[in-house]
A = this chain, B = another copy of it.
Amino acid sequence: MSPRPKIALDKNTIMLAAAELANENGSEYVTLAMLAKKLNIKPPSLYNHFDGLPGIKRELAIYSLEKLYNSLAKEAQGKSQGDEAIMALSQAYLTFARKNPGLYDFALSAPDPADEFVHDAGRKIVGLVISAIQPFGLKEEEAIHAVRGLRSLMHGFTSLEQKGGFGMPLDLDESYQLAVEAFIKGLKK
């Protein structure tokens, strides 16, 4: 194709291609070379849309966090706060990571974790969890500690599962559910 084609690529198309690449082949397959090949352009052309590979990864992180947030919000919708909402959130979290293994990697490994946009995207998710644990009547600081624990549990399980870190032939869904239940139970006075 010659310069300036009728229909130019837009950011969204590129994001989708990158996400597909990540999910189908693994996050390490998100390279300018691979992405360009998938889009039938040459690698340097990508610089017209993104600030190099770090730029793509950063936007992929934000994209991933937003998709994760949407999945969680949708699932929490309608559930009553407390145990029910927390179980729904944790289940949705795991489901998202399983359906989007490559994309999930980017959600938690932005080039610069202090990046404002990345941070904002993460904060929204924290808000969902904060809201879910309202009924426990925790003080503000206690609530933050609780959310940190819950996030650690969800991310840790997800991450270990994806790395194949669990060896025993014992149902993983049950392990996850029991772990979240135990944590919730321990949270209550």
For A, the interface residue count at a CB cutoff of 8 angstroms equals 43
Contact A179 B149 (CB under 8 A): yes
This protein's copies in its complex: 2
Q: Chain A 148-175 against B: per-residue CB contact (8 Å), 1 yes, 0 no?
A: 1101111111011001111110101011
Task: Verify if A43 is at the interface (C-beta below 8 Å from B).
Answer: no
- Residues of chain B within 8 A (CB-CB) of A186 are 181-187
- Residues of chain B within 8 A (CB-CB) of A154 are 156
Main secondary structure of the interface of A (DSSP, over half): helix
Task: Verify if A178 is at the interface (C-beta below 8 Å from B).
Answer: yes
- Among A98-128, those with CB < 8 Å from B are 108-109, 113-114, 119, 122-123, 126
**Chain B: which residue is nearest A178 at the CB level?**
B145
Task: Verify if A144 is at the interface (C-beta below 8 Å from B).
Answer: yes
Task: Verify if A10 is at the interface (C-beta below 8 Å from B).
Answer: no
What is the distance, in angstroms, from A95's C-beta to the closest C-beta of chain B? Answer: 16
- Residues of chain B within 8 A (CB-CB) of A185 are 185-186
Our pick among B108, B119, B149, B156 for the contact of A151 (Cβ within 8 Å) is B156
- Residues of chain B within 8 A (CB-CB) of A123 are 167
- Residues of chain B within 8 A (CB-CB) of A144 are 168, 170, 175
Contact B179 A148 (CB under 8 A): yes
- Cα distance A144–B179 when bound, in Å? 11
- Residues of chain B within 8 A (CB-CB) of A175 are 144-145, 148-149
Contact B145 A152 (CB under 8 A): no
